[in-house]
Each structure stands twice: as C-alpha cells, then as structure tokens.
Amino acid sequence: MVASEQAVVTGSQLDTLCINTIRTLAIDAVQQANSGHPGAPMGLAPVTYCLWQEFLRYDPEDPKWLNRDRFVLSNGHASMLLYAMLYLTGVREVDKNGDVLKTLAVPLEEIKRFRQLGSRTPGHPESELTTGVETTTGPLGQGVGNSLGIAIASRWLAANFNRPGFEVFDFNVYAMCSDGDLMEGIGGEAASLAGHLKLSNLCWMYDNNHITLDGPADWSFSEDVATRFVGYGWNVTRVADANNLEMLARAFETFHKTTDRPTLIIVDSHIGYGSPHKQDSNAAHGEPLGEEEVRLTKKFYGWPEDAKFLVPEGVREHFRDGIGKRGREERAQWEKMFAGYSEKYPELADELHRMQRREIPDGWDKNLPTFPADAKGIATRESSGKVLNVLAQNIPWLMGGSADLATSNKTNLTGAGDFQPGTYAGRNLHFGIREHVMGASVNGLVVSGIRAFGATFFNFSDYMRASIRLSAMMEIPSIFIFTHDSIGVGEDGPTHQPIEQLASLRAMPNLVVLRPGDANEVVEAWKIIAQLQHQPVALVLTRQNIPTFDRTKFGAASGTAKGAYILADAPGGKPDVILIGTGSEVSLCVEAYEKLKTEGIAARVVSMPSWDIFEQQSSAYKESVLPSSVTARVSVEMAATFGWERYVGLKGRKVGMHRFGASAPLKDLLKFFGFTVDVVLEEAHKAMAEK
C-alpha cells in the first residue's frame, strides 16, 4: 500500500498509515534541521501510537484537564515523537494565564521549524515552551525521576481530595525511557523508590533498542533489566516486537490490571526500524539519515519518496475519532462529576483551583513566629523548621521530605502523616538516601500542582544539580532546602563542607538563592518562598546556632524581601566602610561594626541574603544600600569568594574560603580559616587604606 493524500484505508492499514506518518514527520523534521535523532521516534512510533490512540486518558482539547493521564518522554532526544503526537492529535495551546486557546500547541509549521531559534519544537522537550509537554526532559534519567513525583502526586491527590462517589483523581503516569535512563543512577533510584511505594499507577516503557551513541549497547550494558526490576518490586512484561500492536495493547492492559506495583514494559525495537540499510546504525540514532537514506526508508514504508511532511488524508481524522473522541467523553463525564463535587465540597474545589494556578490560601501567613533577640540564638535550620510547620498548617498542599536527614534538616511536618505504601495521604515523604531522584521527584510533584520541597545537606546539592537546573528552566516553584551550609559542619570535614556551592547556584538563571542571617530573616525568606510562582528556590541554612538580632536596634528583617538591606548603619548614613555578610557571617560583621565604632570608624553592615533578589531592585535602591562613593568594602562569607567582586569592587576585600575545609571542632576551624572579628577588622582597615 502506497500512502498518498487521496488514500482511503481502514483497520490495520490505517494503523500502519498513522504510525508511518509519525515516523516520516520525525525523519523530515530531523533532515530539514540537519540535526537530531530520527532513530528513536522511528522505532517507538508504534508504542506511542498504541498508547495514545487506545489507552491514554487525555483530551487534546483541554491539555490541562486535572485528571488527565500524564505522558513523559524521558528519552527527550526522541522529541519529534512527542511533537508529532501533539500535532496529529490536535493538542490545543494553553496561554500563560492557563486559558486553552483554539490554536494548536504544535502546528505543522512548528514541526518544520524543529530545533530552530524561537520554535516550539526545541531539540529536547521544554514544558515552559510547548503545551502538552508535561515536564522538561533531555538529561537522561530526569524524566523517569519526574514521573515518580507525578505518580506520587496522583496518589496523594486521590487520598486527600477523593470522596465517596467523587473519584476526582485516579490518573496514570506513563514514561518512555531508554537504555540511558536506566544506566543513569537516578533511574535506579526512581525505580527503587517507586517499587517500595507500590505505585501501581506508574508505567515505564523501556525502549530496548540495543544501541547507544557510542555503538552497540552491549559494549557497556549487559545486565538483566527484567530481573533487576523484579527485584525492585515491579511487574515486568515484555513485547518482543515494537511493531506488534496486539502485544503492545496486551501489555498496557496488564498494566491496568496490576494494582499492587508499578509496571515496566520492555519493548524490543530497532533504531531506524524499517530501513534495511541503517537498522542498527549510530547515524540513525544521533544524526539525520541523509537524503538518500531518507528516500530508501520512505520506500520501505511504502511512502512517496519525495514527499516531505506528508500527513495523508484520514490520519488526523483517525486520531480525532480515537483519543480525541474518547478523551472528550471522559473529560465531559469527569467535569459533570466535578460540578457536583464543587457544590458539595466547595472548599476542596477552591483548593484545587488555587493549586492549578499556583496560588496559596488566604491567611497563608497567619501565626508565623517572631523570634526574640537572643545573643546565643538558634540555628537557621531550627527556625526554618518552626516556620515550615506553621506554613504547612496554613497551606494544606505543602509537602515534602528529606534524603534520610529529616531530623538534621528539621523538615518533619508534625501531625501531617507519612506517605507510605498503601497510605498515601501523608505529607512527609521519605526519599531515603536518594538525593538525585528526590530533586526530580520534587519537580514532578510541583508540575502536578503541589508545593513540594526536598531537603539535604548543602554539599549534596551537587547530586541534585540537574534537577535544580531543570526546575529553573521550567519556571516552577520547587523548594530545595539545604542545611549544614558551611565549614560550620565541623568534624565531618571537607567531604561534607560546602565551599563552591553558593557561587555555583548563584550562577544559575532563574533560581532564587536565599541564605538568611538570623531567625527573623528565615521567617521573611519563607514569606518570599511561599509566594513564588515561576522560580525555584535554594534555601541555605546553618547547622550551628547564630544570634537573633535585636530588631529595635537594627534594621527590620523585612528588608530580606529586597535581597539586601542595611542592618546597622553609620551616623547620618555616611559610612567609611561597608561590611557585607550572608547567613552565619552577618553576626561577625555586626561584631566588627561594634568594634569599629569604638575606634571612631563609621561602618555600615549590609545583610545580603539573596544576590538574585537584590539584583532585581531599582538602581536607586541598590545605590542607597551600597553607595558608589564608598569603595571601602569587605565581604564576609564562609564559602568561595568567587563573584563577590560585583559588590566589593576591585578595591574591596573578601573574607572567605580559598581551599576545601578541614575536620575539626567549629571554634578551631573559625580561627584557622580567619572567620574572626580580628580578621574582619584587619580587612576593613586594609579596604579603607585602599581609598
């Protein structure tokens, strides 16, 4: 059968026509862009077709429907597979206000602009650019990690919002994954935790194509994946030929019938499937096929060899009558049920509406603590735990957990219950020692409407970096809590003492980094965090106690909202030297300020909990805090000094870390590394001498 725009086909012929349309759109887009990966979309087209057309509960006319099934393309290099589906099924565009438009999310013109500047079809799927992309994927393993968080969200939402006769939530999560996703450590973490939690709403489709970018997969990967996943507590089924729609359907039916564990469907496919010339070619995976190979492949599919971006008559109509009709009917039934639910449970319906729009409840900030002045003070991890618990009482969908460090991170939510296998209503998540997938899971929860946090020691933010970075790209308000933020870790030594992490995270676009200087700055920091809608945050907290400032004597902690503010000032607001600190080092600046005062030197202390927020302020405000006329400046921070030139200038001085830490009691470390009043005073005098 030769495909043409006039072809009239039915049944299995129509299935094949649709599958080959997906394949050839991918081939043509990659060839036109002269960049991309055609092989995976070619091999996986039947799997995706079967899932979307027969099983995925999804209405293309409302891609934000709350109870839609989620499809995550973890092997994001196969992005054209997803873009083709979004086009062929007619997924509508959703604007920044959350309103569904009549325009297509991915029209054919955007497929023709694959991988081009400003297109909605970038090399790897980006959720903030393209409606229908549930989460940004590409770095292998992140998508399956996100799918774990989304599956947790589905179970948690069902446990907390469903009522007798009103099954508001029961959506499933499907993730397409590759050898690379399973080789990456995060994939193992995700699978292990999903199996432990018995998330029977989670299905991974493993593209077992025997090829990696370097060459045959067996050069580096020979494990028995099926046995491994059985060991994780998964149900494992296999489809020996990716083109066998009947076997694929049976595998998805098996997933639907499995109620006590997640499901892995191992699909044996071939990169570039269908081309007799490049069946297992590396070029078919990581490069365009080339004009001659494109023609040969299309000939093999029975496709007009010179046709480009051909969508034969009947293909889009077939999708409209399949997933389109089914999804529309299922959503209509759900909306009818939800209307009754909204009448009977208006408060719950309001919560869901707010969650969808990333809003928080009225009165979210009631009963937040105010901490009295205390020279001995309290660790910011402690004060953060107190604030977090109040916020959790006020925001019912604030939830999260720690990578086996809840006691140290102070993130346990009192009385909120634990999220455990079979008891999914709790808000305390136990990620175990799995920092990588904790970060990805938090992102999955957040894209599902939940305000989620994950916590660990600051040094281990490195394990989470890819997830933090993707949350910033996705413009979602994920919350990452990091304690033990400096050499204040003490005896645990340099392996656990973060040095370069502050500078590293500050360099990341769209991430808010907050390092509060006392307990009341912590309160203000959490006020900022609670109201974020499009930015993730890294909240960086101390292990050791630090003084709580007397706010009748010093500047109000509300200055935290501007990123930096004057904590203590010189008479008349005319300082000879400015001391700038963050976190635990702010109190050191205050001590030095008091000493300088006795020497007759007018100093100013600036607390700078967030560079990012300070940079967003007006030039006039920044000048009022750091007047350009005062070049004598000293920064004090127990971290790498990289970047502080921005605020202290070329003539300024920097008290910080210039090497990794050491294992010793904190008092010995402070003296050894120069975090003393005497050193700050010495540097202040040097800065003034530079004038």
Weakest-pLDDT range from 150-154, 187-191, 295-299:
295-299
Domain presence at residue 336: no
What CATH number is associated with residue 108?
A: 3.40.50.970
User: How many structural domains does the chain have?
Assistant: 3
- Taking 60 as the threshold, does the pLDDT of residue 672 lie above it? yes
In angstroms, the CA 311 to CA 108 distance is 10
Task: Encode pLDDT of 453-474 as tens digits.
Answer: 999 999 999 999 999 999 999 9
d(CA 326, CA 321): 8
- Please state, as a whole number, how many other Cβ atoms lie within 10 Å of the Cβ of residue 423: 11
Q: Please write the tens of the pLDDT for every residue from 288-301.
A: 999 999 999 999 99
Q: Is residue 355 one of the residues assigned to a domain? A: no
User: Is pLDDT at 676 greater than 60 in this prediction?
Assistant: yes
**266-276 pLDDT, tens digit each:** 999 875 434 44
Task: Determine, yes or no, domain membership for 357.
Answer: no
Of residues 157, 95, 143, the one with CA closest to residue 449: 157
Can you give the pLDDT at residue 681?
Answer: 98
Query: Are 538 and 597 found together in one domain?
Result: no
Closest listed residue to residue 474, CA positions, set 143, 106, 127: 127
Q: What CATH number does the domain containing 630 carry?
A: 3.40.50.920
Last residue of a domain, which of 547, 580, 597? 547
Looking at per-residue pLDDT, the higher value among 50 and 214 belongs to 50
Specify the pLDDT at position 9. 56
Query: Is the pLDDT assigned to residue 1 strictly greater than 70?
Result: no
Q: Are 408 and 462 in the same domain?
A: yes
Averaging pLDDT over each range in 203-217, 263-277, 505-519, which range is the top one?
A: 505-519
Q: Are residues 633 and 494 in the same domain?
A: no
Same domain, 314 and 384: no
Is there a contact between 116 and 33 (Cβ–Cβ < 8 Å)? yes
Write down which residue in 547, 582, 615 finishes a domain: 547
Confidence tier at 651 by pLDDT (50, 70, 90) = confident
Q: What amino acid is encoded at 424 in this protein? A: Y
pLDDT above 90 (res 555): yes
Place of tokens 């991890």: 381
- Supply the range of the domain harboring residue 515: 374-547
Residue 593 lies in a domain: yes
* pLDDT band per the 50, 70, 90 thresholds, residue 287: confident
pLDDT at 576 over 60: yes
Pick from 19-23, 195-199, 283-287, 312-316: least confident: 283-287
| Residue 470 within a domain | yes
* pLDDT of residue 280 exceeding 60: no
Query: Residue 62 carries which DSSP code?
Result: -
- Residues 174 and 428: beta-carbon distance below 8 Å: no
d(Cα 128, Cα 132) in Å, to the nearest integer? 10
Give the pLDDT band of residue 7 (cuts 50, 70, 90).
very low
Q: Which of 300, 244, 245 is nearest to 272 (CA)?
A: 300
Residues 528 and 579 in one domain: no
For the chain, the average pLDDT equals 95
Rounded Cα distance, 418 and 130, in Å: 35
214 and 127 part of one domain: yes
Judged against a pLDDT cut of 80, whether residue 119 lies above it is answered with yes
239 and 125 in a single domain? The answer is yes
Assign 103 to helix, strand or coil. Answer: strand
**Three-class DSSP category at 433:** coil
> pLDDT confidence of 10, banded at 50, 70, 90?
low
Q: 264 near 234, Cβ under 8 Å?
A: yes
354 in a structural domain? no
Average pLDDT on 486-497 reads 96
* 649 touches 687 (CB < 8 A): no
The answer to whether the CB of 606 falls within 8 A of the CB of 578 is yes
The pLDDT of 421-428, averaged and rounded, is: 97
- Shared domain for 543 and 568, answered yes or no, is no
For helices 79-88 and 39-50, angle between their N-to-C axes, nearest 10 degrees: 40
pLDDT class for 211, splitting at 50, 70, 90?
confident
* 26-35 per-position pLDDT tens digit: 999 999 999 9
- Is residue 182 one of the residues assigned to a domain? yes
Radius of gyration of the chain (CA): 28
Q: Inform me whether the pLDDT recorded for 48 exceeds 90.
A: yes
Does some domain include residue 343?
Answer: no
- Write down the pLDDT at residue 53: 98
pTM: 0.96
Q: What is the greatest pairwise CA distance in the chain? A: 94
| Confidence bin at 3 (pLDDT 50/70/90) | very low
Average pLDDT over residues 621-634: 97
Residues in contact with 96: Cβ distance below 8 Å, sequence separation at least 6, in sequence order: none
Same domain, 319 and 212: yes
What's the pLDDT band for 282 if we cut at 50, 70, 90? very low
Q: Which residues contact residue 446 at a Cβ distance below 8 angstroms, ignoring those fewer than 6 apart?
A: 149, 452, 471, 476, 477, 478
Same structural domain, 537 and 576:
no
Write out the catalytic residue numbers.
Answer: 435
Average pLDDT over residues 170-195: 97
Q: Which helix (H) or strand (E) holds 452?
A: strand 451-457
Cβ atoms 121, 29 nearer than 8 A? yes
Instruction: Note whether 583 and 513 are same-domain residues.
Output: no
The answer to whether residues 408 and 510 belong to one domain is yes
Instruction: Using the CB atoms, write b or e for 273-291: b if 16+ within 10 Å.
Output: bbbeebebbbebbbbbbee
Pick the last residue of a domain from 274, 307, 330.
330
